[in-house]
Amino acid sequence: MILLIIVGVILLILSFVLKNNASNPLFKFSGIFRSIGILVIVLGIFSSMFKQIDAGKVGVKSLYGSVQPDILESGLHLINPLLDVTDFDIQTQNYTMSAVHNEGAQEGDDAIRVLSNDGLEVVIDLTVLYKITPTDAPKIFKQIGVNYTDKIVRPVTRTRIRDNAVYYDAVALYSTKRNEFQQKIFKSIEDDFKSRGLILEQLLIRNINLPASVKMTIESKINAEQDAQKMTFVLQKEKQEAERKRVEAQGIADYQRIISTGLTDKQLQYEQIKAQKEIATSPNTKIIFMGKGSAPVILSDK
């Protein structure tokens, strides 16, 4: 739009120059240049009267450095052609600070290093989800500018995390107090953002890295606990097996006692005759010898 106006002005100047120079071969085109110049200027002014704001954005108006308090919402607007309109993204944005190269918003290691209550350095990877309050966009533009991420989001987040980390031990941050720590820093960052026209939607602690010595201590403790649980299981299993054997032995003893006290000679003779009868009727039986005064002897071929 501004470019069209500039081109039109140039064409007008060129037309006046040619008009005052009759010897110039382009003298006869001076009227055409003037007409085209006027047309281009009118088109540029007309175009600058319309401003389209894309979805998910708002427009902040300023006139010669004076920021207007109202905003332009998404859509097509008819505005003063002298106004300068700056677009602000009001959708959810994220800012990641990570120790992994090219994973965060900054190049290289951008993780947050804090000192815990026990004097150990803890490295925290973090992602901040936030967005602009649409009605506060003019205030942000006037007081902070368009680079609010580096001026507000990054420094406030890093400072509040360091301020709150000193109340926790390193191991507590890594394990039992992680959720409490996250909620605490969320509240403090949320208040700071709100006063600046920003909305904190979510604070995601992606990773907490402890010093190598502390990690080894934690791993040793976990391994010891696992070994203790394993030994408890083994002892319980052995105890159950011993109880099973005791019950089995008691059953055998009871059986033997019943047999020894409950069977008579006639019962034993009767059971022997039954067994011999079954063998004798078997198709595989060949010879039966009956001994006098002794138990019969039966040979069978299988």
Cα–Cα distances in angstroms (integers) from residue 67 to residues 59, 71, 75, 123, 151, in the given order: 11, 10, 20, 41, 20
pLDDT of residue 14: 66
Q: What confidence score (pLDDT) does residue 297 get? A: 53
Main-chain dihedrals φ then ψ at residue 4, nearest 5 degrees: -60, -45
Q: Which residues contact 275 (CB under 8 A, 6 or more apart)?
A: none
pLDDT at 208: 84
Letter for the amino acid at 49? M
In order of 89, 103, 261, 269, 271, the CA distances from 264 in angstroms are 103, 90, 8, 9, 11
Q: Which DSSP symbol is given to 123?
A: E
Angle at 89 between CA 67 and CA 6, to 5 degrees: 55
How many Å apart are CA 38 and CA 40, to the nearest integer?
6
What is the chain's pLDDT, residue by residue, as a tens digit (302 residues)? 566 666 666 766 766 666 666 666 665 666 776 777 677 767 767 667 778 889 999 999 998 889 999 999 988 888 887 888 899 999 999 999 888 777 777 777 888 888 888 888 888 899 999 999 999 999 999 999 999 999 999 999 999 999 998 888 888 888 788 888 999 999 999 999 999 999 999 998 888 888 776 667 666 766 676 777 778 888 888 888 888 888 888 878 776 777 666 666 666 676 677 777 777 676 665 555 555 555 555 555 55
pLDDT at res. 91: 94
**CB contact set of 74 (below 8 Å; sequence gap of 6+):** 53, 54, 55, 56, 57, 58
Contact 60, 138 (CB under 8 A): yes
Which pLDDT value is given to residue 198? 95
Instruction: Confirm if 50 and 76 have CB atoms less than 8 A apart.
Output: yes
